[in-house]
Amino acid sequence: MDVAKTIADIRKCVATARAAGKTVGLVPTMGALHVGHVSLIEAARSRCDYVVVSIFVNPTQFGPGEDFEKYPRPEEEDFATCARHGVDAVFAPGASEMYPRENLSWVSVEKLTAPLCGRSRPGHFRGVTTVCTKLFNIVGCDVAFFGQKDAQQAVVIQRMVADLKVPLEIVVCPTVREPDGLAVSSRNKYLSPQQRKDAVQVYRSLVRCRELIAAGNVDASDIRTQMCEILRQVPGIEIEYVSIVDAETLDEVDQVQGRILAAVAVRLGSARLIDNILVDTSGQ
Amino acid sequence: MDVAKTIADIRKCVATARAAGKTVGLVPTMGALHVGHVSLIEAARSRCDYVVVSIFVNPTQFGPGEDFEKYPRPEEEDFATCARHGVDAVFAPGASEMYPRENLSWVSVEKLTAPLCGRSRPGHFRGVTTVCTKLFNIVGCDVAFFGQKDAQQAVVIQRMVADLKVPLEIVVCPTVREPDGLAVSSRNKYLSPQQRKDAVQVYRSLVRCRELIAAGNVDASDIRTQMCEILRQVPGIEIEYVSIVDAETLDEVDQVQGRILAAVAVRLGSARLIDNILVDTSGQ
């Protein structure tokens, strides 16, 4: 496995793979790799001949007071995880490689970035779309793999790729969950043992949502209320949002119909947890 | 020469050229091709094996009340000009091919787009950087060619390419002038015969600027005043700006030193004319 720290080096790796006629997949990550990332790597290996994992804790997607400084960076472990899972090249640039001087150029997506996490994290998605554009331009991949866990991010990136005619395909892979249902996340590390137990209520609220819809409840307001009740069983939880939105436009819905996204964000101790499910009622 | 109206078609053309090992150059234009564009085509032919000219009057870079509707679109003449000058493929998409639905994703460059033309044309450069990003993504060229005539555009595009790691090289070609010095522009068509004669004062103001600097004058304010005097000899001229700025940062300077850009924008009748010269005093 190659480990490239510079843009020139990863481009050389990819050029060699290209010259051998290989297709190239990219799994963009902030490191602290877990089984969720591994599922993306496996999806990439099944689709592409040559798999690149980028590891970069991108400063421009963190707001003031967020966890940029304390975000875990277990570099050697991450490299070992990549090697173990058959990754061909890791691209692990430093901040000065990705942002060598004041960054004046930004890629932004309107409307889709306003609701949900956009409300509490202004500038977050602009940081994500900008760094993904850089990564796509640097690696020149055919396919890039993202997790459904970050549902809004996936919708935003897909729209960016479509609008700007970025010559690659986006694959969104299912959320990977712990045995009790909690979505796997690098930020679960911030939870105390008790908070970790309580955190399952986030998933349970989504399961309840799915059950209510399956039982024919189409009243989004009622569903949200019942989801909030489940979340409020956790002492000290702060609910940031409980939303039922159109899965493509991310507009809040009154009536559940078509493809909808139920999405939750809470704060529990020092952790901010997000989770979601897609429900497609159009076939029902 | 191939004429492609769709993204799929131009990508097929370029893929065939790539498969034959050819390098690809792009000359992005809004059509109404003149000798300035031809100089870009010739530069592209001398640098690249396969030359694409895009012809697209991009709606998102025109503001309300600007000349989007009346901008000349002599399509057949443009195709003939391209064929005559050895262009390999013309990409001439319709608006719905480039903007098939509401465009939510934008590429913008901060700071550099604020002064000069940015002051009177809010949103113009966002439209330019967004459509250029689309064109670069669609064509996948190795080199793209722009004219020094649109000096701020060239600086903005170069910064965008550097910041976002766009995998191509930008070549900026010298301004082509009429025998009397007027910069060649599609918008010169809007001038009456008398206005056309008077318009040479724009160039003369820039020549005076260069002469003053060559004579050792470093007082930007004094130079601007003398340039304005030359422009004001034209009846009915409206001066939008007469600026002496750092050629890289586009910050207005007090003292002329290093590489500076002297740039002028005026309105004459229904035409908005811009012109500029680069002066490098660092070798003096």
Q: Is A236 among the domain residues?
A: yes
Q: Is A178 among the domain residues?
A: no
What confidence tens digit (pLDDT) does each residue in A142-173 have? 999 999 999 999 999 999 999 999 999 999 99
Q: Is B284 among the domain residues?
A: no
In terms of domains, do A258 and A236 share one?
yes
Q: Is A181 among the domain residues?
A: no
State how far residue B53 is from chain A, nearest Cα, in angstroms. Answer: 18
Task: Tell me the average pLDDT across B211-215.
Answer: 97
Query: CB of B156 within 8 A of CB of B114?
Result: no
Q: A6 in contact with B at a CB cutoff of 8 Å?
A: no
Q: Where are the alpha helices (DSSP H) in chain A?
A: 7-19, 35-47, 75-84, 95-98, 117-120, 124-139, 151-163, 193-198, 200-214, 220-231
Which residues in chain A are contacts of B163 at CB distance < 8 A? 103-105
Across the interface, whether the CB atoms of A108 and B106 are under 8 A apart is answered yes
Which residues in chain A are contacts of B164 at CB distance < 8 A? 105, 107, 130, 133-134, 137
Q: How would you classify the pairing of strands B169-173 and A89-91?
A: unpaired
DSSP strands (E only) in B56-141: 89-91, 105-109
**Hey, is A24 helix, strand or coil?**
strand
In terms of domains, do A75 and A151 share one?
yes
Task: Tell me the average pLDDT across A74-79.
Answer: 98
State how far residue A133 is from chain B, nearest Cα, in angstroms. Answer: 7
Name the average pLDDT for chain A: 97
In terms of domains, do A264 and A207 share one?
yes
Beta-carbon pairs below 8 A across chains A and B: 72
Nearest to A134 among B7, B104, B165 (CB): B165
Task: Tell me the average pLDDT across A82-89.
Answer: 98
Closest CA to A205 of A177, A233, A185, A186: A233
In terms of domains, do B169 and B213 share one?
no
pLDDT at A207 over 90: yes
Q: What is the domain-level CATH number for residue B62?
A: 3.40.50.620
Catalytic site residues of B? 37
What confidence tens digit (pLDDT) does each residue in A97-143 have? 999 999 999 999 999 999 999 999 999 999 999 999 999 999 999 99
Residue of chain B nearest A137, judged by CA positions: B166
In terms of domains, do B123 and B244 share one?
no
In terms of domains, do A17 and A120 share one?
yes
Closest CA to A261 of A244, A274, A275: A244
Which residues in chain B are contacts of A167 at CB distance < 8 A? 11, 137-138, 140
Task: Tell me the average pLDDT across B87-102.
Answer: 98
In terms of domains, do B70 and B29 share one?
yes
In terms of domains, do A77 and A192 share one?
no
Task: Tell me the average pLDDT across A29-54.
Answer: 98
DSSP B85: T
Final residue of a structural domain among A173, A198, A220: A173
In terms of domains, do B200 and B244 share one?
yes
> Which of A101, A163, A248, A250 is the best residue to mutate to test the B interface, defined by the most B CB atoms within 10 Å of its own CB?
A163
Cα A185 from Cα A153, distance rounded (Å): 15
pLDDT at B284 over 70: no
Whether this prediction's pTM lies above 0.95 is answered by: yes
What confidence tens digit (pLDDT) does each residue in A170-187 have? 999 999 999 999 999 999
Q: Based on the structure, what is the number of domains in chain B? A: 2
Closest CA to A243 of A270, A220, A218: A220
Domain span including residue B241:
186-278
> Which of A9, A164, A168, A169 is the best residue to mutate to test the B interface, defined by the most B CB atoms within 10 Å of its own CB?
A164
Is A37 in the active site?
yes
Closest CA to B3 of B72, B94, B73: B94
In terms of domains, do B59 and B141 share one?
yes
Query: ipTM score here?
Result: 0.96
Q: Is B179 among the domain residues?
A: no
In terms of domains, do B164 and B196 share one?
no
Nearest to A104 among B7, B112, B166 (CB): B112
Q: Which two tokens stand for residue A128?
A: 């994500």
Q: Is A253 among the domain residues?
A: yes
State how far residue A11 is from chain B, nearest Cα, in angstroms. Answer: 10
pLDDT at A284 over 90: no
What confidence tens digit (pLDDT) does each residue in A237-283 have? 999 999 999 999 999 999 999 999 999 999 999 999 999 999 999 87
CB atoms within 10 A of CB B125: 24
Q: Is A283 among the domain residues?
A: no
Name the average pLDDT for chain B: 97
State how far residue B193 is from chain A, nearest Cα, in angstroms. Answer: 42
pLDDT at B220 over 80: yes
In terms of domains, do A213 and A134 share one?
no
Confidence of residue B282 (pLDDT cuts 50, 70, 90): confident
Final residue of a structural domain among B116, B150, B173: B173
Handedness of CA B180, B273, B135, A136 (dihedral sign): positive
pLDDT at position A282 = 84
Q: Is B180 among the domain residues?
A: no
Q: What is the domain-level CATH number for residue B263?
A: 3.30.1300.10
pLDDT at position A119 = 97
Final residue of a structural domain among A132, A149, A173: A173
